[in-house]
Amino acid sequence: MSAPGAPSRTDKARSPGLPREMGYRLPAEWARHEATWLSWPHNAETWPGKLGEAAQVWVDIIRALSPGEKVHLLVDDAGEEKSVRRRLDTLPSKANVLFHHIPTNDAWMRDSGPLFICRPSRTRPVAVTHWGYNAWGGKWPPFDRDQQIPGRVAEALGLPVFRPGMILEGGSIDTNGNGVLLTTEACLLNPNRNPGLSRVEIEQRLRDYLAVRHVLWLYAGVAGDDTDGHIDNLARFVAPDTIVALVEEDPRDENYQPLHENWERLRRMKGPDGRPFRLIPLPTPGHVLHEGRRLPASYANFYIGNRAVLLPVYGHPNDARALEVLQGLFPDRALVGIPCRDLVIGLGGIHCITQQQPAQP
């Protein structure tokens, strides 16, 4: 039986009018944004006893991003909007925050929200791809409201919508903007997502709807990650030819082997031009625990805004090393460390709760 939202083999995935054929592509995160989308957190089960502390991360993110771009914020209703407005009242750029009454189950906008694509055209230059969503293989029901988010966002903006008929979370992929995409076998090939699709068929959907030309497959994720290995905790493009990748330096750590294998795969990979990628190691923040459980804390879960790069920090000595690495890669943007020990109790980071809307080409 197929997972919810998964396509059948008879789905017309290669029919005329595909985004790729219409000139659309998935831009890199560092390309200029029109806005960043967030969904205000309200699910107390995600952050037991820490919902208020976790919500502070949203305030910190909005404070850092809103001077350089609009921030669209989903809230359940007028009452929640009023409460959030009070919390944001002292922010100097609060006028750049726009509210939308779109009810949600949870707040992981990267995975349940739209993936925006764009093209150099005066007619419909930006569009939404509405992929299926089943809360990381059905792990965290209910997710009925979150399944509707991309369509509701497209409706609010008046944008065209493409529905690939395949489950795909935004955190499971990363692109260099030139048709090269990073992902993991542990996630995209997991039978809890699209059991009716082969690797070849999944790659074809990525080509058709995101204009991907070259897919790079890594191995697996970090300990404590309930997403089955999202790439945004492991390795990220920071330039068309440059990848930062998480590296565990302690061979006794359970993350050492999978991260070492990922690094070795990246070292052997080449782009469409036949050249190897420039690889830059990113340290890990050690063991971040909550009630004895290891959490999927990672410096790779950063977010690239128009004026700032937001890095999750955990009160670990490696915070400074990670900040230094990324500042060197983005010298024209401010590096902002966002304390995320409370956020990661919900098993996600900064990148997991943000979604960029590209500016019109």
- Pairing state between β 97-101 and 70-75: parallel
Whether 6 shows a pLDDT value over 50: the answer reads no
Residue 333, pLDDT score:
98
* 202-224 pLDDT tens trace: 999 999 999 999 999 999 999 99
Contact 338, 97 (CB under 8 A): no
Q: Give the phi and the psi of residue 290 in degrees, each rounded to 5.
A: -140, 115
Whether 2 shows a pLDDT value over 50: the answer reads no
> What's the mean pLDDT in 123-139?
98
Candidates 292, 294, 233, 238; CA nearest to 258 is 233
Whether 302 shows a pLDDT value over 60: the answer reads yes
Residue 131, pLDDT score:
98
CATH number given to 20-358: 3.75.10.10
Helix ranges, the chain (H): 51-65, 78-88, 109-112, 135-138, 149-157, 185-188, 199-210, 256-268, 318-329, 350-353
> Angle 51-65/78-88 helices, nearest 10 degrees?
70
CA atoms within 13 A on the CB side of 28: 17
Q: Give the number of other CB atoms < 10 A from CB of residue 249.
A: 11
Whether 3 shows a pLDDT value over 90: the answer reads no
CA 88 to CA 134: how far, in whole Å?
31
Residue 280, pLDDT score:
98
Residue in the block written with tokens 């059948």: 8
Q: Which amino acid is at 167?
A: I
> What's the mean pLDDT in 285-295?
96
CA 57 to CA 55: how far, in whole Å?
5
Residue 104, pLDDT score:
98
Whether 43 shows a pLDDT value over 50: the answer reads yes
- DSSP H or E segment with residue 156: helix 149-157
Residue 14, pLDDT score:
38
Residue 9, pLDDT score:
37
* 315-333 pLDDT tens trace: 999 999 999 999 999 999 9
Mean pLDDT of the chain: 95
- DSSP H or E segment with residue 36: strand 33-39
Whether 46 shows a pLDDT value over 90: the answer reads yes
* 91-114 pLDDT tens trace: 999 999 999 999 999 999 999 999
Candidates 309, 344, 291; CA nearest to 57 is 344
Whether 345 shows a pLDDT value over 60: the answer reads yes
* 140-173 pLDDT tens trace: 999 999 999 999 999 999 999 999 999 999 999 9
Contact 229, 184 (CB under 8 A): yes
Q: Which residues are catalytic?
A: 352
Residue 10, pLDDT score:
34
Contact 146, 170 (CB under 8 A): no
Whether 21 shows a pLDDT value over 50: the answer reads yes
Q: Give me the residue spans of the domains in the chain.
A: 20-358
In three-state secondary structure terms, 77 is coil
- pLDDT band at residue 236 using 50, 70 and 90 as cut-offs: very high
Give the torsion through C-alpha atoms of 147, 153, 159, 165, to 10 deg. -10
Candidates 47, 26, 63, 120; CA nearest to 334 is 63
Residue in the block written with tokens 């502390």: 53
Give the torsion through C-alpha atoms of 16, 19, 21, 24, to 10 deg. 170
Classify 71 in phi/psi space as left (phi over 0), alpha (psi -120 to 50) or beta: beta
> What's the mean pLDDT in 31-48?
98
Candidates 315, 280, 285, 279; CA nearest to 223 is 285
Contact 235, 182 (CB under 8 A): yes
Residue 60, pLDDT score:
98
Contact 134, 106 (CB under 8 A): no
Q: Which residue has the higher pLDDT, 262 or 6?
A: 262
- pLDDT band at residue 263 using 50, 70 and 90 as cut-offs: very high
pTM confidence score: 0.95
Residue 101, pLDDT score:
98
